[in-house]
Each structure stands twice: as structure tokens, then as C-alpha cells.
Amino acid sequence: MSYDEDRVYRRMFRREALTEIKNRMLEKDASLESSAFEEVFDKMTLMILYELMRRGAFSDFHGVISAGKESRIYHAKNEEGEELAVKIYLVNNTEFRKNRMIYVAGDHNFQRVGSSLRKFIYSWARRELRNLELAYNAGVPVPKPYTVEGNVLVMSFLGVDGVRYPLLRETSYTADEYAALYGLVVEYIRRLYKDSGLIHGDLSEYNIMAPDPRTVYFIDLSQSVLRDTPYEEILLMRDLRNVSRFFASRGVDVLNERELFVELTGKDPPSELTPI
């Protein structure tokens, strides 16, 4: 095959690959209209998805789990039938950087991205994989991380047969059952801090799953910060306060969050929770 013929072949393959992945996603995602597809997914993202499928990271999509302005999460499976979540950060969201600077302060991985939004989002996706690995390896219940490529993160799916587990805010348990869940959440905050070296940074009833009164999972760890980084104390105190607020509203006799902060860190809690 000549050089020119090879170039033609590669261009044809690229077009076919993009068309195939687009058709698969439109077939599985009823919330996404064909006319708006290119506004949501650029060609680079489609090629990343196609390459991940070619490598066996997952075999096909089976519907959308959640769709927001910053990312879309799809239910998928691999060749072994394991249920997966494929999180795709949307690179055309110009608002993505906003409200994230306190989370990336002190993170050297973001010092080289410059003004490139794509590079920022790629670094953010890698950061989420790193945080999941740190938490998972320390025994904190989080989605099992598998791989990241560009703006696409592959992890285990928390649910059964494509139906995700309920968020804590969606549950209806007794006061005693909430008390048991509260004990688990506090223990995993402690383990996340001491064993993983992480602060969740946005922990609340919206980022905790509770499929039953004896089980919890922490999700959305992309904004989690390492210990000894700027704002870590403020973010930890916010997490403790959010958790206390929710469980107190469910009749649980919660711990004093300031005393819990001292127990975890050996430091006095911050007097002000507004970082900037």
C-alpha cells in the first residue's frame, strides 16, 4: 500500500469509527437527539471511546445513568459481563473551570495546563482516577477504578442490572438505621483521611449511596484533595458539617463536628468556612 493509499484508508477508517460510535450512543441514549450530538461530543472524544472499546475496556453501552452540563455517565459492560460506569467529561463546557480552583490549588498536575480547557479536563479526569485508586486501595467503599483516557473514565457500576443504588437523600430508613449508616459514614471519612490521605471535599447526601442500612458508598471523588494542600481543613470541616446536618435531620444523635475534626487532624478547626 502506497503512502497516499494508506492516508486514504486511515481517513476512511476514522470516519467509519466515528459513525459507529455515534450510532451506538444515539441508540442507547434517548435523551440525546442526533441534531445536538456534535454539540455534546467532539470527534476526539468519540475516537477515545472507540479506542477504549477496541482495547476491551468495555464492549458496549446500555443506557445513560446521568446527564449533566459537565459530564454524562453511561452504563456499560465488558466482555465478562461486569457492569461498568463510563464517565465522559464534556470538553465544550466553558464553565468547567469555575468553582474548581480551590480544589486544584497546590496540585502540580494543573500548573502545566495553561489556558487549555481540554488539558484541564484531561487532568481532572486523571485526578479522579487517582483519588478513586487511593480510596479503593485503603478499603473505602467507592467505585472500583479501571482506566482513564483523555476525558473518559471507566469504573465499576454501583447498582444492579443498570439501575444505580439510591443516593442517601433518596432513602427512607428508620432513625436507628440512619444511626447505623451515620457510624459507617464517619468511619469511612476517618479512613479516607488517615489511610488514603484524602478529603472528599464535597461530601453530602448527594454524594453518598446507601442501598441498604448497612452499606454506603462514596462517589464523585474528582474534587477530593490530598492532605497538606491549601483549603484541606476548610473542605474537611464542610464535609463533617454536611454529614452532621443530614443525619441530625433524620433523628440521629450526631457527634460534635468540631470535636470530630480535632480527633481526625489533631488541629483546631477553621473558624471560617469560606476559602475565597
Q: Is 195 a catalytic residue?
A: no
* Amino acid 274: pLDDT: 61
For residue 142, the model assigns a pLDDT of 98
All structural domains of the chain = 3-160 (3.30.200.20), 165-265 (1.10.510.10)
Active site residue 202: yes
Paired with 61 in beta bridges are: 76
Give the predicted TM-score (pTM) of the model.
Answer: 0.88
Spot the catalytic one: 60, 220, 228, 253. 220
b/e map 145-179, b = 16+ CB within 10 Å: bbebbbbbbbbbbbbeeeebbebbeebeeeeebbb
Res 246: pLDDT: 98
Digit-coded pLDDT (tens) for 87-144: 999 888 888 887 788 888 877 777 677 778 899 999 999 999 999 999 999 999 999 9
The whole-angstrom separation of Cα 112 and Cα 97 is 15
Cα distance between residue 183 and residue 72, in whole Å: 32
pLDDT in tens, 226-261: 998 889 999 999 999 999 999 999 999 999 999 999
- Among candidate residues 161, 202, 253, 268, the one labeled active-site is 202
